[in-house]
Amino acid sequence: MQLLVNPSPEKWKKQLARPVQKTKEINKIVKPILKKVARSGDKALKKFAQEYDHVHLDSLLVSEAEIQAAEGLVSKELKAAIEVARVNIERFHAAQVQAELIEEVMPGVICRRKSVPIHRVGLYIPGGTAPLFSTVLMLGIPAKLAGCSEIVLCSPPSREGKIHPAILYTASLIGIRKIVKVGGAQAIAALTFGTESVPQVDKIFGPGNQYVTAAKQLATKYSVAIDMPAGPSEVLVYADESAVPAFVASDLLSQAEHGVDSQVILVTPSEKFAKKVLKEINEQVEKLPRKEIAYKALANSTAVVMEDQEKALALINEYAPEHLIIAVENEDEAIAAIYNAGSVFIGNFTPESAGDYASGTNHTLPTYGYARNYSGVSLDSFLKKITYQKITAEGLRKLGPTVEVMAANELLEAHKNAVTIRLNYLKEKKK
């Protein structure tokens, strides 16, 4: 993990660059996968299962018996933890429900806006080096609350042809029954085009590796929406001497263990504090089961000493982190200056992992700088906003002349005439 001291703003972009994603090379692999699934459906999915997951599948769908068996393989301790997380996540997302908006903007002109669920959604749940059953909660709960009528969950199978029991248990707990044994870009292809076993969906959610990310972005060319263009996980910690170095190191490592292409950043006004954190990282990383992954991620990572707070906050906004931990004495001032971040964790006792699992906020967040223009997943992600308008005869008499003038000046005579013909009708009727 490199250490930078007061780097100049013109160098920030280069010095804090994320690991390069070889988009062209990845797309060369992903595009043929999409085409084969679109053409051959389940047959292609089973072939890819053999090729990539090294498993022969007779059926792509998880059976009811498999779901019931999974419940017995999950410990009581984990079930209890999942239940606490479920309640918190459901409570926070249920609080996001908005009442229908109705506004009479002028007499006789009534406008409405109503939230309606996206009909069919696909949830992608990674199941490789870290089976993310927590993501089932993060995506499945708001999908259920929104009222999506069809929810399809895809997750890669093991070499035994099974999906991790915690994923199956969690899906069953929140009422998701359509579960498909398919992972990678081929899962995204199946959700995009539909196959004999996998329904075609309207929007795809969920994190994944670079191939999944590329497939999601390609899916948008086929009238399928996605939650966001997500890349490897990342965290930026902004901490001063009021923070505990061991806490900061543990937060940085909690993201570094995600994958070799993850990135973690420390920003601090004190070089002495930065060195304490680096010392803690070196001690803690040796105790991690995934230390080899963490070491590779740390090679992409940086500690930045920035003595000037205004510049430090400008650097954070420029980087636009997925996760931002703020552990500084004047936290309110720092928080008020942040406008680019996926999710913010405040104070010494708010680890990022709490948001990953059970605090209630969603952990599906924009990475790779997309926090500049994307929000994390919320209840709104599973809803569409439809607007309505109703104009009375009196309302058209008041509003119509305005529309006629505007349409005429845009040289759209048919637009104008749609109003004029009605106004003339009302005039005749009044005689």
| Catalytic entry in 257, 322, 352, 363 | 322
Ligand-binding annotation for 410, yes or no, is: yes
| Catalytic entry in 93, 164, 323, 363 | 323
- Encoding tokens for residue 422? 């009605």
Q: What is the DSSP string of 112-144?
A: EEEEEE-SEEEEE---SSS--HHHHHHHHHHHH
Measured N-to-C along each axis, helices 184-193 and 210-219 cross at an angle, to the nearest 10 degrees, of 20
Ligand-binding annotation for 356, yes or no, is: yes
Q: C-alpha distances in angstroms, 413 versus 205, 323, 404, 419?
A: 43, 52, 9, 10
Ligand-binding annotation for 124, yes or no, is: yes
Beta bridge partners of 102: 112
Ligand-binding annotation for 209, yes or no, is: yes
Ligand-binding annotation for 258, yes or no, is: yes
CB of 240 closer than 8 Å to CB of 273: yes
- Encoding tokens for residue 342? 């996926």
Nearest to 142 by CA among 96, 199, 73, 83: 96
Q: Is 71 among the catalytic positions?
A: no
Rounded distance, CA 200 to CA 193, Å?
5
Rounded distance, CA 407 to CA 424, Å?
17
Nearest to 321 by CA among 306, 339, 303: 339
Ligand-binding annotation for 210, yes or no, is: no
SS3 of 243, please? coil
Pairing relationship of beta strands 150-155 and 120-124 according to DSSP bridges: parallel
Ligand-binding annotation for 323, yes or no, is: yes
Ligand-binding annotation for 56, yes or no, is: no
Ligand-binding annotation for 53, yes or no, is: no
Q: Is 322 among the catalytic positions?
A: yes
Q: C-alpha distances in angstroms, 150 versus 123, 145, 175, 179, 260?
A: 11, 12, 11, 12, 35
Q: How many CA atoms lie within 13 A of 243 on its CB side?
A: 32
Ligand-binding annotation for 263, yes or no, is: no
Binding-site annotation: residue ranges: 124, 186, 209, 233, 255, 258, 323, 356, 410, 415
Binding-site annotation: residue ranges for NAD(+): 124, 186, 209
Q: Which active-site residues does the annotation give?
A: 322-323
Binding-site annotation: residue ranges for substrate: 233, 255, 258, 323, 356, 410, 415
Binding-site annotation: residue ranges for Zn(2+): 255, 258, 356, 415
